Amino acid sequence: MKSISILGATGSIGTNALEIVRQFPDRFAVAALTANTRAAALAELIVEFRPRIAAVADADYADQLRTLLPADLDVAIVHGEDGYVQAATCEAADIVLGAMVGAAGLVPTLAAIDAGKDIALANKETLVMAGAIVMQRVRERGVKLMPVDSEHSAIFQSMAGQGPNRIREILLTASGGPFRERKICDFDAITPAQALDHPNWSMGNKITIDSATLMNKGLEVIEAHWLFDTDFDDIKVVIHPQSIIHSMVTYADGAVLAQMGVPDMKGAIAYGLSHPHRLPLNLPAPDFPRIGTLTFEEPDLERFPCLGLAFSAGKAGGTMPTVLNAANEEVVAAFLDGRLPFTGIHAIVDQTLNQHCRASGTDLDQIIAADHWARETARSLIRRQEC
Ligand code: NDP
Ligand code: MG
């Protein structure tokens, strides 16, 4: 029996994970659950899964949550960053599923590592912001860090059993999102509703916009760099619109190993939680005769400049990826609120990166300062273009 703390339990990854817990009650229990503001959704999960700790964003949401729960329920309701840290370090937890969205995941994930918890990580922003610090702590504490992002789970699976065999390159696949074939001159007219309509995957809003700009793939390149200790020059992105091959690894002899499956995150989440065991999930395997053709294309960096920005920020290193991530979170929120056109997303991230004085990023205070600076800079650039 494995007890899980789920950070971001009410989100797309969190609810998929809880479906797996529901399906395998003999294998998994729930130690802690967190949400941001959706107290009612969290209350339902608390009643069903009986965690020891539940955390929300602030004291008002915590009060709201208490009123929604039966008075005799034995659960500690906590809030704020300290509350998320308590959930992440809960004594009963064997493994922490990092499924919060954005930079908010960093401090609780580091606390979980420091507390010796194994981590199943969906929250890629944590590695983009502070990959050097996170990986160093993982090594120091000797905890297991399992990728939950489907591409990184695929790479991990394609590396299993290969021992010291030399890797030539990692091939990260990308669906290309909803605008793979749209005319670039029409990009200014893209609405949030159009960008939220992903052809293959059902996900939270922020990652869905990142998938439409291909910033998501850029963040994943940086995530792969840290998880697999691979140079940026040895990570390639391949557009694969069918999303059946989740990613591939090319070895020294030119052999390519790939992991395939239907586009459903439950496969990668279950593997992250139960490795090395594969659970009997009720997911179909791809129906190859029906699919017929798998296709591949080079990514078009003129159409998707965010991918190029992420490669450059990753190669520059230090606090540049932190700034890329923070500016991107701000512009995605502004785009979703209708304050920024789709094409403003890359333009403002680019300007923010250009204005940044890079620091080494080996110290958490530096990372947090760079994150705050980038948010303020991006917000002021967004305001300026609104006038
Ligand atoms: P969702 O938006 O669906 O869910 C996010 C979760 O985090 C919710 O529980 C939300 O709470 C909580 N949350 C949001 N903001 C904060 C905050 N500031 N502080 C604390 N908690 C917060 O996101 P997804 O599940 O889609 O994605 C989660 C992470 O997993 C992201 O990093 C994403 O990149 C990554 N990922 C997601 C995939 C997917 O298929 N969805 C695939 C691969 C990676 P509330 O409900 O109260 O708002
Ligand atoms: Mg992914």
- Nearest ligand (C-alpha, residue 81): 1
Question: Which mutation among 13, 214, 243 tests ligand 1's pocket best, with the greatest number of atoms within 8 A of CB?
Answer: 13
* Nearest Cα residue to 122 out of 97, 144, 139: 97
Q: Which atom of ligand 1 is nearest to the CA of 265?
A: 40
CATH number of 2-147: 3.40.50.720
* Residue segments in the chain with a per-residue pLDDT below the cut of 70: 387
Task: Please list every protein residue whose CB sits less than 6 Å from any atom of ligand 1.
Answer: 8-14, 35-38, 41, 57, 99-102, 104, 122-125, 149, 201, 203-207, 265
Kindly indicate whether the domain formed by 317-387 is annotated with CATH number 1.10.1740.10. yes
Atom of ligand 1 nearest to the CA of 210: 34
Residue 110 contacts residue 364 (beta carbons within 8 Å): yes
Specify the pLDDT at position 201: 81
Q: What was the pLDDT predicted at 198?
A: 86
Model pLDDT for residues 241-267, shown as the tens digit of each residue: 999 999 999 999 999 999 999 999 999
What is the Cα–Cα distance from 208 to 246, expressed in whole angstroms?
A: 17
Average pLDDT, the chain: 97
Amino acid in the structure at residue 253: D
Nearest CA to ligand 1 atom 41: 203
Question: Separation of 101 CA from ligand 1 center, angstroms?
Answer: 4
Neighbour order of strands in the sheet with 95-98: 76-79, 53-56, 28-34, 2-7, 95-98, 118-121, 145-147
Task: Please give the distance, rounded to the nearest whole angstrom, from the Cα atom of residue 8 to the centre of ligand 1.
Answer: 6
| Of 192, 198, 185, 178, the residue nearest 338 (C-alpha) | 192
Cis bond before residue 147 (omega within 30° of 0): no
Q: Which atom of ligand 1 is nearest to the CA of 84?
A: 20
For 367, the token pair is: 């990372």
117-136 pLDDT tens trace: 999 999 999 999 999 999 99
What are the domain boundaries of the chain?
Answer: 2-147, 150-307, 317-387
Distance (Å) from CA 220 to ligand 2 centroid: 7
Residue of 101, 119, 172, 205 with the most ligand 1 atoms within 8 Å of its CB, for mutation: 101
Strand-pairing partners, residue 32, are 5, 53
Alpha helix stretches (DSSP H) within 32-123: 39-49, 59-68, 80-89, 106-114
3-state secondary structure of 372: helix
Q: What confidence score (pLDDT) does residue 200 get?
A: 85
Strand residue runs (E) in the chain: 2-7, 28-34, 53-56, 76-79, 95-98, 118-121, 145-147, 167-174, 235-239, 245-251, 256-260
Measured in Å, residue 121 CA sits from the centre of ligand 2 at 11
The pTM of the full predicted model, rounded to 2 decimals, is 0.98
Looking up tokens 């399992």 gives: 146
